[in-house]
């Protein structure tokens, strides 16, 4: 029989490395770009007519919008699908499918007076402030990579991108940022 090995401390064995670890980003007066790593993300699927109050969240029903509720940002992804960004524990229920998708995407913050032009450089949707102002979000493509764009206040945008595309997109942003 082998010697019983002492239990190891799992936390000390794990070093969290974000998809864009080491990404220098951009930092000047016109444009700020950096990774926001490890945002907790939860995908919700539910019949919009049957969302139980016990969920504790308000869900945006208008396509392409997001709102803040229960300490989280709740994004409309589809008529029966939402993405919750924030450190919230959602109750399980018969009527809502709750899936942790935190590791699926990382987040790139693109902010500043040049942010909108930079995004428009690689994105086909109308990003004019009158159409894509604070409170709007969209699933679309940026430089041909699938992203979720989230418009916040003060020309701050979150770009949610799949982990495997993150490095490519960060390189593209760094390159395109030269123009803005």
Partner 1 sequence: MLLIPCPWCGPRDEAEFGYGGQAGVAYPRDPGALTDEEWARYLFFRDNPEGPFEERWNHSAGCRRWFNLTRNTATNEITPISPSGDASPPGNVATGEVGTASASWDAATGGPR
Least distance CB 61 / partner 1 (angstroms): 8
Smaller CB separation from partner 1, 37 or 81: 81
Q: Is 129 in the site for partner 1 (CB under 8 A)?
A: no
Site for partner 1 in 58-87 (CB under 8 A): 61, 63-64, 77-81
Could you say which of 24, 27, 47, 163 contacts partner 1 (CB under 8 A)?
47
Q: Is 53 in the site for partner 1 (CB under 8 A)?
A: no
Please give the C-alpha separations between residue 28 and each of 7, 23, 81, in angstroms, as whole numbers: 48, 16, 37
Q: Is 141 in the site for partner 1 (CB under 8 A)?
A: yes
Q: Is 49 in the site for partner 1 (CB under 8 A)?
A: yes
């Amino acid at each position: 029989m082998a010697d019983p090995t002492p239990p190891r401390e799992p936390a000390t064995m794990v070093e969290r490395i974000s998809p864009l670890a080491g990404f220098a980003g951009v930092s000047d007066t016109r444009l700020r770009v950096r990774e926001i790593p490890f945002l907790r993300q939860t995908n919700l699927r539910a019949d919009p007519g049957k969302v139980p109050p016990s969920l504790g969240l308000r869900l945006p029903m208008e396509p392409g919008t997001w709102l803040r509720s229960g300490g989280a940002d709740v994004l409309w992804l589809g008529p029966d699908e939402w993405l919750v960004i924030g450190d919230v524990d959602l109750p399980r229920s018969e009527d809502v499918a709750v899936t942790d998708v935190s590791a699926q995407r990382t987040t790139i913050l693109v902010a500043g007076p040049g942010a909108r032009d930079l995004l428009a450089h690689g994105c086909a949707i109308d990003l004019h402030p009158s159409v894509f102002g604070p409170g709007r979000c969209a699933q679309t493509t940026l430089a041909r990579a699938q992203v979720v764009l989230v418009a916040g206040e003060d020309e701050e945008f979150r770009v949610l991108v799949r982990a495997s595309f993150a490095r490519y997109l960060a390189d593209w942003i760094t390159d395109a940022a030269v123009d803005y």
